[in-house]
Chains A and B, each alone.
Chain A
Amino acid sequence: MNEPVLSIRDLSISFKTSNGTVNAIRGVDLDLNKGETLAIVGESGSGKSVTVKAIMGILSGNQEIRSGTIQFRYNRDGEEVHQDLLQLSKKDMRRRINGKRIAMVFQDPMTSLNPTMAVGKQIMEGLIIHLKMSRPEAHERALELLRLVGIADPEKRMKSYPHQLSGGMRQRVVIAIMLACNPEVLICDEPTTALDVTVQAKILELIKNIQAKMQLSVIYITHDLGVVAKVADSVAVMYAGKIVERGTVNEIFYDPRHPYTCGLLSSMPDIVTETEKLYSIPGSPPNLLHEVKGDAFAPRNRYALNIDFQEEPPMFQISDTHYAATWLLHEQAPSMEMAASLKARIETARKEAGEWTESDSWR
């Protein structure tokens, strides 16, 4: 198996708030393989953003890493380096990792560019800092980057200020900034949520093309399953600060095992099935200010078992790549029928896709 570029082990992060300590991330394990696109899906507050901020070393002051490692494997002058990012100081992160090897695209392009600096200068900045380029060299490279992200008339745009660009253009500029130093890993934190639907598709397409061209490994954070289906190779579903299920995109979409994943899929609107009412998961995520006993999802789970309220479920392996943390996969658990509507949905989707043949073992 391809050794992962990034592997997160047992990551726990808590926030100090005026109301007490919030355990936002509670033991996350995650791998990102070279060249693949990993999508992290979950509701807001599930800890997706915090996880990637920990990778970037840009957690805010009240956020504290309780435990865990983030191993980053990269190539420095032909030599393979393993580095636990959590061991690096903020200063070293900025000098060696941020922007240079791991870059991040933020959610809202309207606020993520410096309003008083011309966009060209913002792109050149990373080149001058990390690659020690001279100004003219950086200028050339910035032009090239603007062309790469599909901005017309780059010469003119170099001198523009962010407020003169549309949302889509700004996000392209952000991507250009982040790609400037040829990073190994690109993190996209809901890169299209703040954009128009038509622009969304273009940005997704752009990231996909660039990924292929530059052999990037990409982490996508999103709550939009449509985006996941379009871009991801593998998926990790997060709930209440834990990964509850992960697998390839096909496994997650066609063979979901965790009741939360099933719930998410059922609540996704589509045009194929004619359901009278769109499903929604009852209740809301738990308040992580309080200790979670057992399975955090249990109170919202229609199929909750008694044990769900007492003991946290371990990760059960389903296939080489597919894991889920739910007691329903325990050998003693009663076999559960998937909701009929979701089952029908998956069947149609599978037929349409037509390509998915392996392990259609649904018990």
Chain B
Amino acid sequence: MADRSYTESHRPGDFQLADPHARAHVDHTYSNQSYWRDAYRQFTANKGAVIGLLVIVLITLFAIIGPMLSEHTYKSMNIKHKSLAPRIEGFENMPVFNGVANGIHSYKERKLEDVYYIFGTDTLGRDLWTRTWQGTRISLYIALIAVAIDMVIGMSYGLISGYFGGAVDNAMQRFIEILSGIPHLVIVTLLIVVLRPGLVTITLALMITGWIGMSRVARAQVLKLKEQEFVLASRTLGAGSMRIIFKDILPNIFGQIIIMSMFSIPSAIFTEAFLAFIGLGIPQPMASLGSLISESFKSMTIYPYMIVAPVVVLALLMLSFNLLADGLKDALDPKMKEM
């Protein structure tokens, strides 16, 4: 069945040896793809992650320029303008941003025909647009702090613990076990008792526990890498510990480090929002998204619009950071498990 006879005529020269130089070299059929280029391609193919990144960029822009666009500051009060519904010029006849809430046209009633507040005002007559973006700044600051803490404390701790091993590692790991045995909530509460509520306290709270996950990932990666040939080679050539850690190992675990730090952002923002809600966040008249939600929660049934802007921004921010972190994880190291 196999010896199908070929009847079609072959051209002369068909059975000549082919010119060796004319041959394509097969090694080139796989295009050369570096890790980062491949990761970039993976990432951009992930719609959710790209949208997440865009939303974060957009929110950041608004947080920077938003407060400047308004003539009000975050703390300027105008009792005459208190509890106004969202209203935008040109939207007067639209279903939203028309200045009507619960069937009451607050602007008309109070004869404020040419006054506009995009997100409305709070019960003290402060501009919610400015306050919302001001609050977003706090959340973004927290995000930055969380990444910095992860990078500086978590990464170094993990790298050192994993690289030196032995007694050092043992002691450092027992310390982590004890530290992670204390609920985060307890640490935050005690800090607040000692210090006053505020950004410093939140930053400190993050510094005490926020880096544990990262240090575990960094340690696990170092343990995996330090026995590999290229590290041994480097050591044989006389490289010092610091050089090996930062020049040989660090570049190879960078993917995981980025993923972990991205995952710590949402939980850090969460911590702040949660503290703010129970009244232990940023003190008045400063605003954070959490404290805005907390304030407007008290009057939610009467002025439901006050809570919308901060909740939407907070949710969008959290959602985007989660999507971004997921996308980065899929692109950089899909097999990685969160710790």
Contacts and interface: CB of A to CB of B under 8 A. Distances in A.
A–B contact with Cβ pairs below 8 Å: the answer is yes
A249 to B, nearest CB: 19
B17 interface: yes
Interface stretch (B21-29, B51-59, B147-155): B21-29
B80 interface: no
Contacts of A333: 15
Nearest to B3: A317
A20 to B, nearest CB: 13
Contact of B25 (A283, A307, A309): A283
Contacts of A309: 18
Contacts of A287: 29-30
Q: Taking chain B's interface residues, is the majority helix, strand, or loop, or is none over half, making it mixed?
A: loop
A284 B29 CA distance: 9
A328 to B, nearest CB: 9
Nearest to B19: A306
A93 B13 CA distance: 50
B26 A306 contact: no
A283 B15 CA distance: 23
A303 B17 contact: yes
A307 B15 contact: yes
Given A286-B29, A290-B29, A299-B25, A306 B2 contact: no
Q: Taking chain A's interface residues, is the majority helix, strand, or loop, or is none over half, making it mixed?
A: loop
A224 interface: no
Contacts of B335: none
B14 A305 contact: yes
A184 B16 CA distance: 47
A299 B30 contact: no
B4 to A, nearest CB: 5
A317 B3 CA distance: 6
A333 B23 CA distance: 19
A169 to B, nearest CB: 27
B17 A334 contact: yes
Contact of B27 (A284, A290, A308): A284
A111 to B, nearest CB: 14
Interface residues of A, number: 31
Contacts of A323: 2-3
Contacts of A284: 26-27, 29-30
Interface in B4-60: 4, 6, 10, 13-18, 20, 23-27, 29-30, 45
B2 A315 contact: yes
Residue among A306, A310, A317 having the largest count of chain B Cβ atoms under 10 Å: A306
Contacts of B24: 299
Contacts of B17: 303-306, 334
B122 to A, nearest CB: 49
Contact of B2 (A308, A314, A334): A314
Contact of A300 (B2, B10, B15, B26): B26
A18 B30 CA distance: 15
Contacts of B2: 29, 314-317, 323
Contacts of B15: 305-307, 327, 330, 332-334
A155 B78 CA distance: 86
A35 interface: no
A327 B30 CA distance: 26
A100 B317 CA distance: 56
A314 B26 contact: no
B3 A286 contact: no
A304 B30 contact: no
B27 A316 contact: no
A285 interface: yes
A298 interface: yes
Contacts of B14: 305-307, 310, 332
A359 B232 CA distance: 55
Contacts of A304: 17-18, 23
A316 B17 CA distance: 19
A125 B324 CA distance: 45
B234 to A, nearest CB: 29
Interface string A12-40: 00000010000000000100000000000
Nearest to B22: A309
A299 B16 CA distance: 15
A282 B26 CA distance: 8
Contacts of B10: 307, 332
A29 B1 CA distance: 10
Contact of B26 (A299, A316, A330, A332): A299
Given A298-B23, A307-B10, 7 more contacts: A283-B26, A284-B30, A287-B30, A315-B2, A317-B2, A323-B2, A323-B3
11 contacts: A29-B1, A284-B27, A286-B26, A286-B29, A298-B18, A299-B23, A299-B25, A306-B17, A314-B2, A315-B4, A332-B14
Interface of A: 18, 29, 282-287, 290, 298-300, 302-310, 314-317, 323, 327, 330, 332-334
Q: Nearest 6 CB-CB pairs, A to B?
A: A315-B2, A283-B26, A307-B14, A317-B3, A287-B29, A332-B15
